[in-house]
Amino acid sequence: MTEAVTENPGTQAETHAFDAEVHQLLKLMINALYSNREIFLRELISNASDAIDKLRFIALTDAELQASVQPPSIDLSFDAEAGKLVIEDTGIGMTRDEVVENLGTIARSGTARFLESLSGDQQKDAQLIGQFGVGFYSSFIVAEQVTVETLKAGQSADTAVRWQSRGEGEYTLETIERAGHGTRIVLKLSEPHRDLLDAQRLRSIIEHYSNHVAFPIRLEQMVAATEDAEETTELEQINDTQALWTRPKAEIGEQEYQEFYGGLTGDFEPPAIWAHHHVEGTQSYSMLLYLPSRAPFDLAWNRDERSGLKLYINRVFIMDAAESLVPRYLRFVRGVIDSADLPLNVSREILQDSPLLSKIRSAVVRRSLDMLEKLASQGGEVWDTVRDEFGNVLKEGIIEDPANRERIASLLRFESTQIHDEARTSLADYLQRAQASSNESDEDGTDKPKQTIWYLLADSRARAL
């Protein structure tokens, strides 16, 4: 990275230059996402929730840390006059190095690739950013200045860090004191966005995007002065923290499933279909799977870095376990798996060898193929989109998963000389037509019907014809 560090005379704050890409991303995002500006709050809340998850996970195996962990909370408050919005969590926090790494560079390879994939067409790019989950930098859509104060869990109070930036190419860093572990983010909203500083407004944004976050999101409310008491504030919990996937199916409405999907994936579009199962027995688990209606921009070539299936043990988030739970050709499947019957100190190695996990893995495959078959039998626009978005990736399954070859093959669709427009043919339809025409020519009917499939490889229909 480009780490131009200059001492800032008079204060202890150091000024750092952003990684060039960060600056580029910021500018682009502010333009592309202006009309969806509220998503910044979803992103900050989801980071807070991730940070609490991470702390709970490492505290499982660290008794000393466990003893000092504060109850999980994500608290919001605002000061309309000063134009400030504050989001504070009791998560794992960050060290100074982590702050630099996470907030000053594009550490995640996906982001760099994302930048490369931008088309310059604003509408398209906004969609990409939406499904990509832009994260922390989206604060600059609404804020003219962002301040992050953070203390890593287990570190002494005087090692806390303050990061501050106006999103214009540089940020400052200084060491501060902070009482408890966690992160406090203060946004100074720019003039046109100050309308967001309203309790009702914030509440409805939280309900819309973050209702199923597993930790309490509380909003500071003013309590009007009475004769006996002055004006005070109290924290009111906004979200419903009961993990959706653990609830009985019969109690959950369609809209709740859709909202949960939005919170889980950051996708603006509703899912194409979902499947929710509670499996009881000597080993029990719950599984909530979704098929998106649109592919992430990097689906086709990003075969190895998979994400999107979260593993929980008794509602404690353990890891993104897509690699252990879903074969490559189903890498577009999203969802949550929760089991009380896995060891809490589970590692990726243990996951590979766990009999329960292999059971879950085959259930994920079975249920995913069920969902695809259901969509295929319903037909219509949803199926057409899913077919076009995921069909090519699904084809990999013919090689990758011989046991399910027949099921996968029945889901594949192809261009055909007999079919035009948006429609595609299945192998079964093709064979039926081929047989019908070969029966016409084979009048004696003694030969077995020929099962020849004629195909031509081309990168587009126009080229093939």
Interface ranges with Mg ion (CB under 5 A): 47, 135
* Neighbouring residues of 457: CB distance < 8 A, sequence distance ≥ 6: none
415 to 30, 294, 397: CA distances (angstroms): 40, 20, 19
Is the CB of 50 or the CB of 400 nearer to ligand ADP?
50
| Shortest CB 452 distance to Mg ion, Å | 52
C-alpha to C-alpha distance for 149 and 101, rounded to whole angstroms = 15
Is the CB of 89 or the CB of 338 nearer to ligand ADP?
89
Find which of ligand ADP, Mg ion, none residue 170 binds, CB within 5 to 8 Å per kind: none
| Shortest CB 374 distance to ligand ADP, Å | 31
C-alpha to C-alpha distance for 347 and 154, rounded to whole angstroms = 22
Is the CB of 129 or the CB of 386 nearer to ligand ADP?
129
Find which of ligand ADP, Mg ion, none residue 183 binds, CB within 5 to 8 Å per kind: ligand ADP
CB burial string 100-115: b at 16+ within 10 A, e below = bebbbbbeeebbebbe
| Shortest CB 92 distance to ligand ADP, Å | 6
Written as six digits, the tokens of 430 are 């093709």
Asked if residues 167 and 26 have their Cβ atoms less than 8 Å apart, the reply is: yes
Is the CB of 29 or the CB of 333 nearer to ligand ADP?
29
Is the CB of 138 or the CB of 368 nearer to Mg ion?
138
Torsional sign, CA 416, 418, 421, 424: negative
Q: Phi and psi of 183, rounded to 5°?
A: -135, 135
Find which of Mg ion, ligand ADP, none residue 308 binds, CB within 5 to 8 Å per kind: none
Q: Nearest-CB residue to Mg ion? A: 135
Find which of Mg ion, ligand ADP, none residue 94 binds, CB within 5 to 8 Å per kind: ligand ADP
Is the CB of 102 or the CB of 426 nearer to Mg ion?
102
Is the CB of 181 or the CB of 276 nearer to ligand ADP?
181
| Shortest CB 416 distance to ligand ADP, Å | 42
Place of tokens 């719950």: 286
Q: Nearest-CB residue to ligand ADP? A: 135
| Shortest CB 311 distance to ligand ADP, Å | 17
| Shortest CB 33 distance to ligand ADP, Å | 14
| Shortest CB 262 distance to ligand ADP, Å | 16
Find which of ligand ADP, Mg ion, none residue 21 binds, CB within 5 to 8 Å per kind: none
Find which of ligand ADP, Mg ion, none residue 216 binds, CB within 5 to 8 Å per kind: none
Find which of ligand ADP, Mg ion, none residue 298 binds, CB within 5 to 8 Å per kind: none
SS3 166: coil
Is the CB of 50 or the CB of 170 nearer to ligand ADP?
50
Residues near ligand ADP (CB under 6 A): 43, 47-48, 50-51, 89, 91-94, 102, 133, 135-136, 183
| Shortest CB 68 distance to ligand ADP, Å | 17
Asked if residues 61 and 345 have their Cβ atoms less than 8 Å apart, the reply is: yes
54 to 173, 184, 236: CA distances (angstroms): 24, 17, 25
* Neighbouring residues of 217: CB distance < 8 A, sequence distance ≥ 6: 45, 74, 75, 76, 206, 210, 237, 238, 239
C-alpha to C-alpha distance for 256 and 9, rounded to whole angstroms = 53
Is the CB of 319 or the CB of 371 nearer to Mg ion?
319
| Shortest CB 94 distance to Mg ion, Å | 13
Find which of Mg ion, ligand ADP, none residue 51 binds, CB within 5 to 8 Å per kind: ligand ADP
Is the CB of 47 or the CB of 111 nearer to Mg ion?
47
List the 170-176 sheet strands across, edge first.
6-7, 14-17, 170-176, 160-165, 143-151, 182-189, 84-89, 74-79, 217-223, 232-237
Region of residue 315 (phi > 0: left; psi between -120 and 50: alpha; otherwise: beta): left
| Shortest CB 435 distance to ligand ADP, Å | 52
With helix as H, strand as E and coil as C, how does 212-270 read?
CCCCCEEEEEEECCCCCCCCEEEEEECCCCCCHHHCCHHHCCHHHHHHHHHHHHCCCCC
* Neighbouring residues of 202: CB distance < 8 A, sequence distance ≥ 6: 41, 76, 78, 85, 196, 219
Task: Sort strands 14-17 and 160-165 into parallel, antiparallel or unpaired.
Answer: unpaired
